[in-house]
Amino acid sequence: MSERFTEHLRDLAEPDWSEAATHRFTRELMDGTLAPDIMARYLVQDHRFVDRFLMLIGAAMATSDRFESRLRLARFAGLVAGEENTYFERAFEALGVSAERRASEPDSAATAGFKALMRDAAEHRSYAAALSVLAVAEWLYLDWASRAPTPLPDGFVHREWITLHDNPGFRDFVAFLRIELDRVGPQERALCETLFRRAVALERAFFDAAYDAPRPA
């Protein structure tokens, strides 16, 4: 049996994929030793993606060739806008992150790069292009979260960030993204390879950036 297209894409993105999936950040997150200031810095930056991420899901919905796929994407958008966004608000309160800090802290280079990548993928007006970035954002997170040992950390800030990215519904959604990208991606192979590799490199850089103190705007 020939290799799945998504496996080909993941292989192309090595070593960045494995470096991100086993990053110091994810290891410390999963064993509960991640310093609060590092988690706060990470979440401030990660929350910056919610708006652009919802736009990318919308682009995938608009360009999908199947009604059933649009329904699946719409349900996931509701989860991001609801349960996941609520987690951010609760985590910011627990970590003492003020609304002023969330607004004033400058984007890291990785955050700016991700915003640009999501915009670029959406502007291609291609289902395969949108899936190439969405698949990285969700599949790579499932990869690291599924490695979490038991028991999970006691604090909800760490524990729920793991369980948001490793639960039956999330695993099913990642499987759906991969099946869809396997189906439509080979017709736009070069574009998918470029976007996928950019996304994986940025994921690794984003974890690195959590350990860097922000520079003044």
CB 199 within 8 A of CB 117: yes
Q: pLDDT (tens digit, 0 to 9) for every residue of the chain, 217 residues total? A: 479 999 999 999 999 999 999 999 999 999 999 999 999 999 999 999 999 999 999 999 999 999 999 999 999 999 998 889 999 999 999 999 999 999 999 999 999 999 999 999 999 999 999 999 999 999 999 999 999 999 999 999 999 999 999 999 999 999 999 999 999 999 999 999 999 999 999 999 999 999 986 654 4
- The length of the chain is 217
The CA distance from 190 to 45, in Å, is 30
Its pTM stands at 0.94
Cis peptide before 151 (omega within 30 of 0): yes
What is the Rg, in whole angstroms, of the alpha carbon atoms belonging to the chain? Answer: 17
